[in-house]
Amino acid sequence: MAAATGEPPIYPWSGQEECFDSAGGAVPCAGTGQDGEYRPGRPWPAPRFGMVDDALALDRLVLDRLIGLTWPRDASAAPWPMTLAEALAWVAERNAQSWLGHADWRLPTRRELLALVSLAHARPALPPGHPFTGIFQHWHWTSTPAANAPGHFWRVHLEGGRMFPGPGDARHMVLPVRGRGWLPPETPELAAAAGRPWPEPRFETAGEGVLDRLTGLVWRGAAQPENGEAAWAEALEAARETPGWRMPSIWELESLVDASRAWAALPPGHPLGQGLDGVWSSTSSGYDPAWAWVLYFGKGAVGVGHKPGRHFKFLLTAEG
């Protein structure tokens, strides 16, 4: 499944409309090269959410009109933290009861739950105007195993939007989902099972860079700087000095992840260099804009880094 010119992106926009300096102060977006200037990814519909017209659910189902998935409006319908095994059993019980009129509930995948949140907002990390009630701003389970550690699974934190793996015997909240959206599955095995296989080969040379045939994005070689790391502002400046290229958003970086792999969580044949881990995005944190979103390619985690520190490398991208 290769992205084609004119087709909508197969990753969502982050929700970031503003731009910020390294201290977290708001600045005009023009010329910054930040997520808030380019706003890459599939735009959000307005309104983003709608109530499902279902007499059995009595306004208790929410449709995410961006992704195409349905969620319970009561985000605390599972009212206590559970282990992963308990979470799966709870969902199975709901299906046995045809809960809210449906018997196809499941735990979301890591990409589905991350797509529900807005990485430009916090407390909770959900789009403005969302209709959910009972939101518990803590870790929520996904069904996606973590390749870096047996028995660990991916979780998303609904206070700020971070996504990291954790042990299955930890206790977290459960927000089930139903339906199938357009997001590409996060492993080649899941993509093949869904009848949406990743292109083979996934990457091919394209001018000065390498085209990702799944997303349509072109990546300009290995992460920079070659030696050491850069501060966030230094990475943005380097991008501005490279005509035709820009720093990627956090969703563009996440689109590279192969969740079936670790160290690095990247598809075989990727062009991004060896030993790749923390990489700056152009997306500022909604929790504190003195921090920016970072993709940790070792595990595939989505976290944040303090902008002034020389802690991470950076990549450059462009639309193919």
pLDDT value of residue 320: 73
Q: Which of 132, 294, 144 is nearest to 156 (CA)?
A: 144
- Mean pLDDT across the chain, nearest whole number? 94
% pLDDT > 90, the chain: 89
58: pLDDT strictly greater than 80 = no
How far apart are the C-alpha atoms of 254 and 266, rounded to whole Å?
10
pLDDT value of residue 59: 83
What are the structural domain ranges in the chain?
A: 49-167, 186-319
Task: Using pLDDT thresholds of 50, 70 and 90, give the confidence band for residue 53.
Answer: confident
**What average pLDDT does this structure show over 57-68?**
90
295: DSSP letter: E
226: pLDDT strictly greater than 70 = yes
pLDDT value of residue 207: 86
pLDDT value of residue 319: 85
139: pLDDT strictly greater than 70 = yes
5: pLDDT strictly greater than 70 = no
3: pLDDT strictly greater than 50 = no
Around 4, how many Cα atoms within 13 Å sit in the side-chain half-sphere?
Answer: 2
**What average pLDDT does this structure show over 275-297?**
97
Question: Among the CATH numbers 3.10.100, 1.10.287, 3.40.50, 2.130.10, which is that of 186-319?
Answer: 3.10.100
pLDDT value of residue 274: 83
pLDDT value of residue 4: 42
pTM over 0.75: yes
**What average pLDDT does this structure show over 24-43?**
98
1: pLDDT strictly greater than 50 = no
pLDDT value of residue 295: 98
120 within 8 A of 29, measured Cβ to Cβ: no
pLDDT value of residue 221: 85
The model's pLDDT over 167-220, given as tens digits with 9 standing for 90+, comes to 999 999 999 999 999 999 999 999 999 999 999 999 999 888 999 999 999 999
Q: In what order do the strands lie in the sheet with 209-212?
A: 203-206, 209-212, 217-219, 317-319
pLDDT value of residue 2: 37
